[in-house]
Amino acid sequence: MAERIPIGSDHAGVELKARLIEELEALGYQPVDMGTGDSKSVDYPDFAHRVAAEVERGEAWRGILLCGTGLGMSYAANRHPGVRAALSWTPEIAKLARRHNDANVLVLPARFVSEQEGVEILRTWLDTPFDGGRHVRRVEKIESGTRYAEP
Ligand code: RB5
């Protein structure tokens, strides 16, 4: 069965999102468009929370978000326990976000990458596994939070 991948954007990311949905379908995934649907101005957290909540609840094991800079989507998505949303502006960043951080949400800065770069970043993120090893401990420490704030 095709992997279901929720994908959301605000108005700034809507065009690139459409291109990524096409790419996901061509690759055999089942992208689920969580909005927005057009270029009318909307609030990015509404879409970040929809996608991140699916990953938090385990309804999807990964998701995709786009906004102008990718920053607002990252802030909102990373409020969800278990979500590691990685703002990725090159394929290399996306690769390391998977290899070292086990990133389960890809965030793209739609106003700062071309369509072709966006597709390349997506494909790299989809195809790169987590390295595991020493990175498991580090990723676990993200979730355990303030316990590690003491020197
Ligand atoms: C919308 O103009 C813009 O603020 C949004 O797409 C994003 O860049 C926010 O972080």
Pocket probe mutation, ligand 1, options 16, 73, 74, 111, max atoms within 8 Å of Cβ: 73
Specify if 33 maps to a domain: yes
What is the predicted pLDDT for the residue at 14? 98
C-beta of residue 70 within 8 angstroms of C-beta of residue 108: yes
What is the predicted pLDDT for the residue at 128? 98
Q: Alpha helices, DSSP H only, in 27-90? A: 44-56, 71-77
Q: Please give the residue range of the domain that contains residue 82.
A: 4-144
Residue 100 annotated among the catalytic residues of the structure: yes
Q: Which ligand 1 atom sits closest to the C-alpha of 10?
A: 6
For ligand 1, the distance from its centroid to the CA atom of residue 115, given in whole angstroms, is: 18
For 18, residues 6+ apart whose C-beta sits below 8 A from its C-beta are none
What is the predicted pLDDT for the residue at 143? 86
Please state, in angstroms and as integers, the Cα–Cα distance from residue 88 to each residue in 2, 15, 133, 145, following that order. 24, 17, 23, 23
Our CA angle for 98, 16, 19, nearest 5°, is 90
Specify if 90 maps to a domain: yes
Specify if 149 maps to a domain: no
CATH of the domain at 127: 3.40.1400.10
68 Cβ below 6 A of ligand 1: yes
Q: Which ligand 1 atom sits closest to the C-alpha of 13?
A: 6
Residue 67 annotated among the catalytic residues of the structure: yes
pLDDT tens sequence for the chain (151 residues): 999 999 999 999 999 999 999 999 999 999 999 999 999 999 999 999 999 999 999 999 999 999 999 999 999 999 999 999 999 999 999 999 999 999 999 999 999 999 999 999 999 999 999 999 999 999 999 988 755 566 5
Specify if 12 maps to a domain: yes
What is the predicted pLDDT for the residue at 145? 72
What is the predicted pLDDT for the residue at 144? 85
Residue 106: phi, psi to the nearest 5?
Answer: -95, 130
Specify if 150 maps to a domain: no
**How many CB atoms lie under 10 A from the CB of residue 53?**
17
Specify if 115 maps to a domain: yes
C-beta of residue 113 within 8 angstroms of C-beta of residue 89: yes
What is the predicted pLDDT for the residue at 149? 60
What is the predicted pLDDT for the residue at 28? 98
What is the predicted pLDDT for the residue at 103? 98
Report which protein residue has its CA nearest ligand 1's atom 5.
Answer: 68
Domain count, the chain: 1
Specify if 24 maps to a domain: yes
Specify if 151 maps to a domain: no
